[in-house]
Amino acid sequence: MDDLSDSHGKHFSNRVILALGILSPILAWIVIFISRYKNPWFDVFGDAYSDLGGPKASDAWIYNYGLISVGILLLIYGVLITWKTIGKLGITGGAYLALAGVFLSLIGLFHSGTRPHTFVSTWFFIQADIAIILLAANYRASLLGKILLIVSLLAFPVAILVGVTIRWPSTAILETYGIIIIDFGVMSIPFLLGKENQYSRPSS
């Protein structure tokens, strides 16, 4: 009976992780698109997404409270990953992802135009990227883990290379690039966890 209950608990937590991994990125883009619709002046080639939550934005609360909500989901997601995964790299990666969720919510609290905004937004991307790299390294025995590790390791050097050569057209375009990398990682993790027993071994 205890084994059956434990099995149901594991399946439920796996479904929650899968749901959060898929829904969090989708919700983030929904928030961006709605905010963009409410602010037709916004130019993806000239502005930053944070401008949608700044002083000149209409209905800035949509963007800011949206980020706070997505951040909370990401925090829960990271905590669950830390609980479910095996290996030091995976546990540390889950913790970094949870921390990234806190900083994503802080972006909504300290919107564009406030003093801490640049700090919290920069550290959200840094912590999320570190989380993806660590989790990918933890599951590097699987094909998806290898692909995610290569993509996440190359993400920052490529961003720098583009920045110093052809230059990014705008902050929003650079943010789009970073968000896509993070989304790929966040949406891949549930499938890596699903292969835990087959591929993963504790990492040091």
| 41 in a structural domain | yes
Q: Cα–Cα distance between 66 and 55 in angstroms, integer?
A: 16
* Cβ neighbours around 11 below 10 Å, total: 10
Residue in the block written with tokens 């550290």 = 123
Q: Cα–Cα distance between 157 and 160 in angstroms, integer?
A: 5
Provide the domain limits for residue 10. 2-199
The pLDDT tens digits of the residues spanning 70-99 come to 999 999 999 999 999 989 999 999 999 999
Q: In total, how many domains does the chain have? A: 1
| 156 in a structural domain | yes
Q: Cα–Cα distance between 98 and 93 in angstroms, integer?
A: 9
The CA distances from residue 203 to 4, 17, 26, 31, in Å, are 29, 21, 31, 37
| 49 in a structural domain | yes
| 204 in a structural domain | no
Q: Do residues 66 and 35 lie in contact, with contact meaning Cβ atoms separated by under 8 Å?
A: yes
What sign for the dihedral angle of Cα 155, 157, 162, 167?
positive
Alpha helices (runs of H) in 85-170, residue ranges in sequence order: 88-109, 117-138, 143-164
Tens digits of pLDDT across the chain (204 residues): 445 445 555 677 888 999 999 999 999 999 999 999 999 999 999 999 999 999 999 999 999 999 999 999 999 999 999 999 989 999 999 999 999 999 999 999 999 999 999 999 999 999 999 999 999 999 999 999 999 999 999 999 999 999 999 999 999 999 999 999 999 999 999 999 876 544 444 444
| 10 in a structural domain | yes
